[in-house]
Amino acid sequence: MVKYSGMQSLRGHLLIASPHLEDRNFFHTVVLVVQHSDAGALGLILNRPLSMTVRAAWTQVSSAPCRNEGLLHHGGPCEGPLMVIHTDQELADLEVLPGLYFCTDRESIQRLVSQDHCRAKFFVGFAGWAPGQLDGEMEDGGWLTTPATIEHVFGEYVDQWAEAIRAAGRASPLGQYKPKIDPEDPSVN
């Protein structure tokens, strides 16, 4: 993991919204951190699919062929270019984690929509944090975190947030904590 002058970089990690996070933009979200440094952070909400397919959206902006029938995703409340998380190293702007790449380059995206040999997820909007903002939200308990995998990004989930909360709890030293078996008087423990 890369370290910068703040905390450890969370690039390649999932941010899982704490049940106590009050920002409605992130209620029950699972966010893949794409970039995190002294300059701030950028992430994409993985569990907010839209009702529009990539192909339907693509026909509104380009006449180039599109083979992707997946759903477009709402990546977060900040406006930005179309963004893609994918598995084709040749079309990468940057590597998020081993074998998983990010791009916003129009030509690369045009190639990604026209192929069907790599996994790809397309996003409109993104989650952005100013320098130190995400660090502060982490310190305040707004987010749980766990290293991401390609399966986290492309897996099929009934409720990705609930599954991620459970996984983060199992990975935490407190994940084994069972409050129902604690005595009311800790001195008898």
pLDDT at 172: 54
26 falls within a domain: yes
pLDDT at 189: 39
- The tally of domains found in the chain comes to 1
108 falls within a domain: yes
CA angle 32, 33, 36 (to 5 degrees): 180
182 falls within a domain: no
pLDDT for 39-63, tens place per residue? 999 999 999 999 999 999 999 988 8
pLDDT for 90-131, tens place per residue? 999 999 999 999 999 999 999 999 988 899 999 999 999 999
- pLDDT for residue 67 is more than 70: yes
In angstroms and rounded to an integer, the radius of gyration of the C-alpha atoms of the chain is 18
Domain of residue 83 covers 13-175
pLDDT classification of 167: cutoffs 50, 70, 90: confident
